[in-house]
Structure formats: C-alpha cells, structure tokens
Amino acid sequence: LVSQEALKAASLLHFREEAESLDLNRRIQSMKDQKQDETSDEPNIKRQKVEIKNILTSLKVDPDARSIQKFHYVPSKGEDPGYRILIATYVNEEAAADFNEEKEKAILKACNNGGDFVGSFYYQYENLVNRLNCRKEVEKPTDSGFRMSMGFEQFLQNTQMPVWFPLSIGQHKVLSMLNMKHDGKGGIKWKTDYITEGSKVQQGTHLPIEKRSHFRVGIIGGGIAGLACATEVIRRAEESGINIQVVVLEARSRLGGRLKTDSSTFHFSDGSKFPVDLGASWIHGIDQNPLAATAKSANIEFVTASEDVKMIKGDIQPVDIDMDEYIGKLYDNLLDQAADDVWESEDYVPDTERSQLAVRWYAEALSKDLTQETSIQRSDAPPHRHSSDVSIDHALGKVVSKHNYRVFRKFGTDEQSLLLWNTKNVEYALGANISDLSMKFWDSDERHAFEGDHVLLKQGYSTVIDHMKKELLLKGEKFKYELDFPVEKIEYARKSETLNHPPASYGRARKLIELSDACCVNSRDGRTEKFDFVVSTLPLGVLKQSVQATPEELGTIRQGVTFEPPLPFPKIDAIRNTGFGLLNKVYLQFPKAFWRIESILHKDKTLFGNASGIHPHHYMFFDVGKSLGRIQDQPPILMTLISGAEAVACERLTDQGLVNQVVETLRKLFTDALVSDPVAFKITRWGSDEFSRGCYTFLPPGATDQDFQLLQSPINGNGDSLTLEGSETMRLFWAGEHTTALHPSMAHGAMLSGVRAAEQIMSTIKLKSNDDKGGIERLIPMAIFRKKNPHVKLECSLCHLIGNRVREGSLLALQKGSRQFLVHNNCGQNSPEVEIRDGQWKSTLKAINRGKQINCCMCGHVGATIGCSSANCVRCFHFGCAEDTGWRFSRDGKEFFCDLHRNFSAHGNNECDQISLKFYKSKNPHLRIVFCAFCGGADDARKGKMLAFSQQNKLLTVHDHCARYTNILETLEDYTNLKDTDFKNLFQVIQRSKQCTFCKQGGATIKCAACDQHYHFLCADNNLSWNFLRKGNRLICPLHEKVANGNSSLHATTSKSGGPPKALFQHNLFFSGAARANGDTGGIDNRIDVAVNDKVWETIRNQHDLRNDTSHEMYRVDDALPSDKDFITDPLLMPIRGSTTSESQNETLNITRSSIWEPWTFDLSLAPSYDVNVTHLIIELPGSGDDNDDLFLLQQVNGKLIGTQGLSCTKDVIKVLRSSTKIKFEAQKYIRK
C-alpha cells in the first residue's frame, strides 16, 4: 500500500488529468522522479503535502479547511452485524452541503459536536492518521506473507477523495488499486485468493471447475430469442474453430415461450385438427425478414389475409364508408398534430405542467394474488426521467382543446363509436391503452419496419420453433435443452479456477478468453448448471417481477428471479420504467358462419369491426377459419382481441363469463336470431402466466427509445453496465423483444436480438472489446446521465443551448473514461475533428476542449468549433449560427464556408435559404425597422414572425404567414411539416405579385381560386374572414364562395382558464348527446366562436331543400381536418335582427379587452326566430354553462341597431368586434328553449 498522502495526491491528480491531461501528466512524472530521488520518506511526504496544497488552491478549495465525511448506516439484521458505508469525503462543509446554506449550517453543527445525523446521513470531521500502521505480530502468519495494515473501513475513512468523487466510483477505484472487491454482503474480499475478516487475512481457494475443453453458454428461456441465439453462437463457433456447448433452460414443459400453437381445440369438418396461434400470429413484413426466411426453409405456407375491416354498427347494418374513412383520417390527423405539439414543446417543464402518470406493467395486478382484485397501478416517472412527454390520450385531449375541433360537437353515436374504434386499433398494436403510451416514442420503431406483406403461418408459429429445434439437435453435443427448469437464481460473478481453451483442430493460433465457471444458474428444485456466459431472454414482465418483488414475495410460487450480484441501477431503472403490455385472444367456433354475409364479408374479406358501442374492447373480429382453412372446408371460427386494462379485467372473468360477453357483442352486431352459442372456445391469459407476466413492450411517458440500449447492455462480473471500461469481461447478456430498439414487440425483433447477443458473446470469447482506445466515446442514455448528474445543467457543451432542439438535434450524453458530457447531435457531428463510424463517436471531447478558447463571430459565445474552410479566413461559428448565415450542412456538406467565401453556383435558381434576422441586420446596419417584402408592413403578430432569406447575394424579409399562405407559386418545401418549414420561390413570388383588391398596394400574393382578385394575407384575413389555418391557402373570394361548396368556420375563443387541458377521454367525445368538449380552450388570434344550434341548421336545410342530403357531404375524404363543411350555405351571411319587444327590457353590457390581439370573453351563437328568413344573435357570457342567466339576445352594437346597414348579418358584427377593444351591447335576457 502507498502512503496516505501519496494516495491523496494520486487520486486528485487522476481526476484532474481528465481536464488538463498534458500538463498533469508532466506533474505526475515529476512526482515520480522526485520520489525516486529521495532517500527518506519524510522529505517526500512533505513535498507531496505541498503538491496537494497547490492542487487544492488551484481548485479554489481552502487547503486548511477540515475535510468532512458522509456515512450511510446499515442496521444489524439478526446475526448479521450492522456496519456503515463511507459515501464520500468532502473538502469542506460547503461542498458537503452541495452549496445549500441551511444544510451547510446543520452539517457544521453536527461535525463540531463530534458527528451526528443530518437527514438520513451521518457527518463527521475526517480523522487522518499520519501513517498506515503495519502490524508486526500476527497470531498465525499466512504463507503468502501478507500482513494486515488496517481495516478497510478505516482505510477508506483515511483516504480523502476530491469533492466530485462519490463512493460509487471512488470505492471501486480504490478497491481496484488494492486488488480488492465487495463480497456482496457488506464486506470486502481480495479479487484473487484472499478474504479479509476484520483485521485478519485468510488464504482461500478458487472454486473448482470440472475439467472440460469447451466453452459453455447458458440461455435462460427457450423462446425464439433463445433458440436464435443458440443457433448463431454454434454457427459462429464452428466458423472460428471454437469448441462450445449451448444449453437452453426453459421453465415450461415446451419450447417456444410466447409462440404457442393450439392444435387440439378446433377441428375441420372431417375431424382433423385446426391449429390456432395463442401468442404471436403474424410475420410483419416478409422482405429481408430473417424470420420469414426461417419459416420458408421449414416449408411453412404463408397466408396473406386482407387487412380491410368492415365496420358494423348493429343489426347487420354497416357503417357508412365515407364516414368510416373520414373518422379514420381525422384520427390520424389528430395523432399527427398531437405529435407535432409535443415535439415542439420545451423538453423539460415544471412539475405543475407535467403529466407522466402511466401504467407500466398491466399484469402487475395479476401477479400477486389472483383471488383478490388488485387495482392496476399507475406510477409517475422518477425525477431523472421528467420531461414534457405525455401520453397519447393527454396529447390528443390537448389538441382538441387547443384547436377546438368543433366537428366533434356534431358527432352522433356512429361517429363516436368509430372514434373509439380507432383508439382501440392503436392500443391493440402495443397491448396498452393510449393513456399509458408515450406520445413521443410510441411508434419510434415504425421507420425500421420490414417491407412486404404481413402474413399468417398456416401451420402455426410452433412449426417454426420445431424447425429451429430440429436444426439445433443435429449439432449433437454442442446443443442441449432442459424443460421444466424454472430459474430461481442467476450468479454471474463467481470466482472459479480457469482452464485454457485448446487450440483449433487446424492449429491456428489465436487469443481466447479462459474457460471458467463464472456463471451459475439454480432452479427452484435445486438443480444447478455452470457456464462461462449466461444469456437472459426472460420476458420483461418476469424481470419486472424480479426487481419489484418484496423479500416476502420471493420464495413463493409466483416469485421472480434473483441476480447475484444485484443488477446495476441502469438496468433496474430501465426494467421498471419501460412498459409491458397485455393482449389476449378469444377464439370461438360456432355451428355455422353467420357472419359470412355478402354485405359484410364478401370474397376475401376476413375482418369486421365493432362500432356498436357494446363492449368496445372487443373491437375487431377475425374470421380465422376463412383465412387459414381449406378452399372447400373453412370452419366457422372467429377470434377477437382484448388489450390493456380491459385485458386485465377479462382475465379476472371466468371462461364462461368472457365467452358470454363476446357472444353478447356478436348478437348486437348480427341480431340474436343469427348468433347461436359456440361449440368450442379457447382463451389466452398471458398476464396470469407466471413465465411471461404479459405480452410485449411499449414505451410510456418517461421512457424513451434509449431504454432499449439499457435493456440490451451486457453486464460484467462486477455488476456494471454501460459505463464500464472496455477491458472488463462481460458475463451476463440479454435478448428478447424488449431488448431491440429497431423491432420491439415483434417476433422477428426477438429473433434478431438473439443473434445480436450471440455476436456479443463471440466477441467476448475472442477478447474483442469496444474500449476507449483511439478516442472512442460511449453513448449513454440521457436518463442515466441525469440520475448520476442531477445538478448538471442539461445544455450542449458546444452551443450552450438547453435540451433537444429542432435544428441542433437531440441532446446526447457521451462518456470517455470517467468524463461524461452533453452535446447536440448536429453540433457534434459537424465539428471538423469529430468522427462517427458505425454509431461510435470519436474526438468529441477534443472538440469541446478546443471550443472553450474560441468565440463565435455571430453570437460571441465560446464553443465555436466550425471554422470557415477558406485559406485566409479565421471566422468560427456554432452549428446554429453557421446555418443562420444560410449554410445547410445536410445539403452543402461538412466543409463549411462563411458567407464571405461561399460559392453559390451549386444552388438552384429557385432556392432560398432562411437566415437569421440578426445576420440580415448585420448585412444592413443602416436599417432600423425591417419591413415585409410582400405586404410592406413591419412586425405584426397577426402576420406571424418576421423571417429573413437569402438567394445567392440577394436578401429579403417577409412575414411567416405572408410567405406560408402565398398561392401564386408554391413556397413550402414540406407543407406537412409546420415547424421550421423550408421555403422556396420567394424571390420569384415578388416578381409575380399584384395589387391588392382591398388596400390597392402592391405585393399581393394570394389569388382567388376562381378569379383574378389578389390579396395580402391580412387583407384577406380581416375583410374576407378567410381562416387560413383550417382552410389552407386556396382562397375563394365572397363572389365565388358558394361555388366552392364551403362555409366559413371560425375558431373558438375564451379567456377562461381552467388548468392544463384534459385528456382525450375526459372530453365528451365518446358519448351520445355530447354537445361540446369539456374543458376550456385557448383562443387563436382574435376569432369569435359562433355556434349554431340544431334548429337553425334545420331551418337552413328547409330553405335549401337539403333534408335528404346530409350524409355524404360531411364525410369528404380529402377534407378530414375539421372544417365544418356540412352545408352549402354560410350561416354567418344569414340576415339577423333583434327582438320586437319593448326597448325598456334592454340591458347595457360594456365589455373590454386589453388589445385587439386578445380574445373576447364571450361566445356568440345563432338562434331561430319566428321568421324563418332571419336569425337572432345570442351573447353567452363566461361561466354560464347550460344556465340561461347569462344569455342575452343582441339588440344594438355601439348604439346601432342589429339588422340595419353595416350590421345586417353575423359577419358584419364580427368585423366590428375584430377592430375594437371596447364594445357596448344593448341586449335582452334570452331563455334557450
């Protein structure tokens, strides 16, 4: 052991080296040289003390301050004595309190009193001994000559660590220096042969290994992931000439896991067996899909079933096709808008605005005691996972509130049922309700999906398993499997004797890891298997049970699996926070196929949907007999699917109770007379299955796709993962559908994960490691970075902007050695020295250190690593600042040229690059006010923000809305992306612009679709009341509005505040008779909400003889965004008038708003009058609800009578309201009839 002072200096210098490596390397070498030159210890120790003092001074730490130690006390349990663990040693009380003054005072008081608890931790002044006391007398000296110098706890208490040096890292480092490690029981043992007990050292022995000449790999779980892993390990070992044996340990009495085919319940008409899959059924995309290739090699027949669903609303009545398409497209648009809103929001929001409660494991309610109904638990994301992400349900509800989709208010029972059906269709895909699915990441794997048909396997999925097993058994002793082997404990850090692997038969020399029994797997009945490596393919539900079970629950028949040593925090954190869904199936065979009616399922159609509103969780039925039967023999077998919380509820029903529920649904759809009782049925209960605990993975709010990296990361013998050094030997590997970010929840994803685990094992055997040599930096999940660095500001180390950014990209956490740092994806990869190959980052830290000395010539801040490539130019920029000048790295490449040295010849004539206003003004320093090149106006919130563009050496500025809604030329590069949209043709638009019809000024770029009238954006918005947000830029002037077959629809506004918007299911959108969405909505611009009741619509229909034409006009497939295009006539143009009663009943209403940009605090609605040719205008004040107390019939506006010139229709009133901040109404009390 080195002296205390030398150890202090070494630990301080080791960490300082990360920041200033060159300088400190010289200092370390100097210390070594000084130590060699000294002949006595005393001068050397004095010299080291001076060095420590200099280091502490450079760190701005008072060298005379008394160090403070922080302890965690573990109480005694039974015969096990209690002990305390040193958490950290701090240089002073300020550091110990994390710069919290109140806590600092409490810690100082405790230390001055000799030590005391502050909160749950014990603090005391450090008591250093001057030297390590070596014992000269030992009762029984060991043959090794080891002498105990001091107890380990005393050793740590006399070892000062830097202020940033927590024990979780520090103790590991110190132990490694001493060739020691934890024994998992609170004690310390030597890494080799020696175990410390108190002050004694006893010589031990390695655990014996049975003599063998081959590696042994144990695979826990005989599903498709386990079998694929076994196949790939053996294949790669044979190619490399490595002797290996793979053993699959399966808890069930069969192989296959969640792939199971039942061949005994259902039959063809001739009595032969009809197979049905109880687990996975489909192969999703057969092009380039390895699972499809395996199935083909087994001669399994593929069946491509039609995916068209016929919707039935009851009594064999199909849903209108136009309505079905309309609702489907509407729901898709809602999802798209909700996703845009969530991704555009700030990454990190206050807890008061955060909503991340979700069910993360549905089967948890079924995993303890099935005799009692346990509620499904919703849990919040832990603090290090807090973000602006919300559930789909919450995000959709927010969209409905924000944009006030008035179309929902007119929905009847059919539309509401279809909306609910689309919701259930989303839930089925992941086995989870939309209230528990992350809006950001629920479909993150979609872009990786395989192309090609989605097919069923005619002989069932078990035939794939049988084929894989048959192929493996041909390998002889290289493969074996054990059934009925429920694992109780997995040890993966045993110290055993080692053996050298024999050379290959052809004598090729290569370096391989030694053979050992480092891993041991124990079954519940006491059987034991020893391996070099273990692969866990345990389902996520079983892992959740293992990490969440209480000590009392372990040991029961419904127990989880124990890992020794315990799994590291990153792995447990991902297991707990990633979701595990539940999907169950009910198969029913009937005496006859009553559903095969020409109007329902004709030709090859096999799917029909339940739009009846009865038991909506049985949302879809699949004609299995027709799809998988023979041409002349198609048994009458139906299957229905149940997901999420409803699947939990159905597992609690008896078999007969669930069957009755399905039959009741079918009788609603097809009438009682047609539907007889089933003759056979089969029900799955995957949540109650102790070896699965659910079906497949989903991502709830608080989880991200980075969690798949955590779930798949191997673990070494120290129980470390992700942040370990490359030299560590991996022992525990992971596979299963929950460990793949590309194809989670898929059978082929599980298969591919097994192949990946096999590759990792073979790389470990061959001593290939992804280490830190050559500057490789390891990506680590952001949640783990936040957990380990809770007080670090989440900003990019280069541009210093916080959180994920649309332009700069995702904020990534990287690690090199012990250094962890953050950088935006685009900021890092576009720095000149940074390299990214096969997903590995290199030299990012070098770029960060270089950028600390370079200021950006645009914003002036440090971190500018992107320099102009021109030979004589020294200008440097951040990534975002470089793009502000018009450079596009995705288009123009990584070799950057500033605006002074740029070659524009490669750009197209119509291309225009968006630049920042700051850059535009730097090029035009004489301009005090910036004007729009289209409308000629200055900044105006109604026209959107002012944007700047360049085309070669030409510059212009234009309002966002003026550019976005121009229609004389296409100006949007991507109209579907309404955030940071790229524009084009703007300079050409100016040349084609005309005089505005209203203001008579030039620059009008919005043309009527039916004539040659041109308008500026604001002129059309104010004078035509054209809603560009909903109707788009295909403007129609008033003269041709009727021809366009549409009416004006206005956004709703209200100034009422009622907290955060409600979730989708908290709005009355799924219940018959819902008049409007619950919850308050925020106004858009200064629109007025004009509601029209059913009587008025009926009057309009009567006037235009449209009584029998109210269905197809509403459901226009090309107009699924809510636009209220129900009728040909615009109700806002209908004549209005006041009441004929005495003016003495009038009341005066004076209403104000702070500016014309603020919404009015009332609603307007139309009501019928006795004269069918006119209507009344009703004012509804806030807070009235359905009460009539605050309803008024409008008589006068600012002293002018309703119905006279200038106030002849509702649109005239709106014009007055738009331009006013004060309004005076004369109105009479109105009672809604």
The per-residue DSSP string of 1205-1233 comes to TT-SBHHHHHHHHHT-SEEEEEEEE----
Give the span between the Cα atoms of 989 and 1017, in whole angstroms.
14
Contact present, 1231 and 1139 (Cβ < 8 Å): no
What amino acid occupies position 681? F
DSSP helix, strand, coil percent of the chain (3-state; round to 5): 30, 20, 50
Give the span between the Cα atoms of 401 and 1168, in whole angstroms.
28
DSSP letter string, 938-959: ---GGG--EEEEEETTEEEEEE
φ, ψ dihedrals at 1004, nearest 5°: -75, 125
Rounded to 5°, angle at Cα 204 from 199 and 205: 165
Give the strand order in the sheet containing 302-303: 282-284, 454-457, 302-303
Give the span between the Cα atoms of 1128 and 1125, in whole angstroms.
8
Peptide bond into 565 cis (omega under 30): yes
Give the span between the Cα atoms of 1094 and 843, in whole angstroms.
68
Give the span between the Cα atoms of 28 and 35, in whole angstroms.
11
Rounded to 5°, angle at Cα 1055 from 1050 and 1061: 85
Give the span between the Cα atoms of 363 and 361, in whole angstroms.
6
Give the span between the Cα atoms of 473 and 248, in whole angstroms.
12
Q: According to the model, what pLDDT value does residue 1108 have?
A: 33
Output Rg (C-alpha) for the chain, integer angstroms: 36
Give the span between the Cα atoms of 522 and 445, in whole angstroms.
36
Rounded to 5°, angle at Cα 1230 from 1229 and 1233: 155
Q: Could you give the angle at which helices 167-177 and 4-19 cross, rounded to 10 degrees?
A: 120
Q: According to the model, what pLDDT value does residue 1067 have?
A: 58
DSSP letter string, 573-626: HHHHHSEE--EEEEEEE-SS-TT--TTTS-TT--EEEE-SSSSTTS-EEEEHHH
DSSP letter string, 443-499: TTTGGGPPPS-EEEETT-THHHHHHHHHHHHTTGGGEEEESS--EEEEE----B-EE
Q: How far apart, in Å, are the Cα atoms of 653 and each of 650, 656, 661, 684, 879? A: 5, 8, 10, 12, 59
Count of Cβ atoms closer than 10 Å to residue 168 Cβ = 11
Q: Which residues pair with 1119 in a beta bridge?
A: none
Please compute, for residue 407, the number of CA atoms within 13 A of its CA located in the half-sphere on the CB side.
Answer: 25
- Mean pLDDT, contiguous 10-residue spans, the chain (1233 residues): 52 46 47 52 56 53 69 69 72 79 89 85 70 37 38 47 39 49 50 35 56 91 96 93 94 94 93 94 91 92 88 90 88 87 80 83 75 72 89 87 67 86 91 92 85 91 94 94 95 81 58 86 92 95 81 49 88 92 95 88 86 91 93 93 92 93 93 90 94 93 89 76 56 93 92 94 77 67 86 91 84 86 92 83 90 91 92 91 89 88 65 85 84 88 88 86 87 49 80 88 88 88 78 77 41 36 58 31 32 40 35 35 38 79 79 77 81 79 63 89 86 84 88 69
Lookup: tokens for 1041: 């509005």
Count of Cβ atoms closer than 10 Å to residue 795 Cβ = 15
